[in-house]
Amino acid sequence: MLGEILPIFGDWFKIYFIENDGMAYGMKLFGGGKVGKLILTLFRIIVSFVGFWYLVKSIKNNAHWGLLLSLSLVLAGALGNIIDSVFYGVIYAADNQYIGSWFEGQVVDMFYAPLWEGHLPEWLPLWGGQFFVFFSPIWNFADACITVGVAVMIIGQNSFFSKDSIEMAFGSSKSAPPDVSNDEESTAESTKETPNDSPQ
């Protein structure tokens, strides 16, 4: 049921069923609504096609396995959220209260891990005394895949995107040395004396 909370590990990890009609942290394009949802879904689809093309090209060119792993995680997470965005509300309705349209679905988030919550110390600048929840976002498995994939890419960027790795994956950018043999032959021929055919 929408809004239901199921404790898993005490108070610091719960299943919390919510619907997110925006991006990460609930951010929305153009204030949400039909136009914002359509643009967000189409953007996700385009980015996924580009990511799939890049992954296939990297596999064919024997890119670093860590890059392939991180790209696969990001692409899997993006596809998971796209499935929700495109189909959710059309093939599924929570308590028959939500019927959406194609490409206007909401992404289902369910993992909630408030590791700590309480009031911050009064001496802390700006936020002193305020109530604070450490790690308050509610997320899903697709979000976790994207986060881990990006983290692996950042950590291993020196190996994944080194000059040697890029040349191995996409071919060397160095141009082949010019073929000077023909030029030398033509130069040698031009320097030969030609017979004088003019009458003496």
End-to-end CA distance of the chain: 112
**Is residue 192 predicted with pLDDT exceeding 90?**
no
Percent of the chain with pLDDT over 70: 68
Catalytic residue among 11, 84, 95, 109: 109
Q: How confident is the model at residue 75 (pLDDT cuts 50, 70, 90)?
A: very high
CB atoms within 10 A of CB 146: 21
Kindly name the residue from 11, 84, 95, 143 that is annotated as catalytic: 143
**At residue 39, what is the residue type?**
I
pLDDT at 57 over 90: yes
Amino acid at 53: W
Predicted TM-score (pTM) above 0.75: no
Listed in sequence order, the residues at least 6 apart from 69 whose beta carbon sits closer than 8 Å to its beta carbon are 149, 152
Q: Looking at residue 119, what DSSP letter applies?
A: E
Average pLDDT over residues 127-138: 87
Residue 143 is a catalytic residue: yes
- The answer to whether the beta carbons of residues 22 and 40 sit under 8 Å apart is yes
- Residue 176's pLDDT band, with cuts at 50, 70 and 90, is very low
Instruction: Say which residues have a Cβ less than 8 Å from residue 124's Cβ, sequence separation at least 6.
Output: none
Q: Which is more confident, 166 or 38?
A: 38
Q: Is the pLDDT of residue 175 over 50?
A: no
Name residue 107's beta-bridge partners. Answer: 20
C-alpha span between 26 and 21 (Å, rounded): 7
Mean pLDDT of 94-103: 59
